[in-house]
Structure 1
Amino acid sequence: MKRRELLTMGAGAAALMLAGHRPAVADLEPDRLWLVYRRHSLLVVGQRDDQTAGAYAAAVIDVLVRFLPAARAQLARAADTRRVGVLIGTNQQDVAIMSAASAEALLLAKPPFTDIRNVPLRLIVSFGSHVLVCRADFTARHAYLLAQTLAGHQDALPTPAGAPGGTIPAHEGSRAFFTGQDMPAG
């Protein structure tokens, strides 16, 4: 394209935006229902390139569907650990299964997450080499219920769900369950 055509297109786009029109390509949620759906269904993000993480994610979903049906748990699969970190770090998803090393890298903004900083990552349960993580704004009551359900049905999981430990801080709801406190109100 010529320079004049580019300037004309840019001026036209700016005029449309000033008039209140939003470009269709920038609207990734046209019906505004994604937030409502996320509010009523728990999506647990797994990853396709890690068979172990995929097995944990599938087992977690199975346990939640059978023993915590009110969560309406479903599996959302991301391509790789980087994509899982991006989904959690940009508030597009709430809960994910990651390798413990990848979760720590996300928290500390180490490769492959050097461009994703200040992610308030919290641990719900640990499966040894893998962890169930969430953002700090995930409700304490929900984290408590997830920890309680997964710890109570360890025979249905590849590795028993244990108390959070390590570099990543435990979510306050998970901490409450594993220390024997009452379920948080919110």
Structure 2
Amino acid sequence: MEKTLKASDLMTKKVIKIHGFSSLEKAVKLMKDNKISSLAIISGRKNLIGMITKTTISNFLKKEWEKIDENDLKKLKNLRVIQLLQKAEKVSPETSLEDIKKLMEEKNVDRIFVMKGKNLVGIISKSDFARLKLKTKDQEIFTKVDEMLNLIEQREKITFEELAKELKMEESVIEEWARIFEDHGFIEIEYPLVGKPFIRKRK
């Protein structure tokens, strides 16, 4: 009988946290230093009270994430993380991946936090589901998949051609993988009237 995969099978156990009354400047630095797109917001008692994402901060500044500079950080120094708090959806380690996918679709969220009682024990994102699908398809390509997802995470937009050159792979394979990521709601593929097709992370 095939094993039903649960949150504990897919979650990332290392969750970067920030206190609600820490500065937004610190939040930006934490995300950039760790190359992540969100932080768990905790209270004084270290309970999870919400989350903050780089998209929320970018929208607040009306500026692309990659273009945030020292002047922007100065503006954020006296603002608190809790001012941009977003609701964090939660599940238990025993919740099935199928139920988590449904919850993500219903709530229109890209990430879910995994709680064991009051303790935060992990996080699952849409990109984890994309990785899982490709990993089960062929274990050997997992490293390349991970590199591709990291490149997409780090850039505002990137063409199939640029990804193929970076990863030393056929452009047709890159496009096939991109379609899988798009099906999982992680990225958007755009085919402009002028210029080459490109990928951007879904906001």
TM-score category, normalised to shorter length: under 0.3
TM-score (norm 1): 0.28
Higher Cα Rg: structure 1 or 2? 1
TM-score (norm 2): 0.26
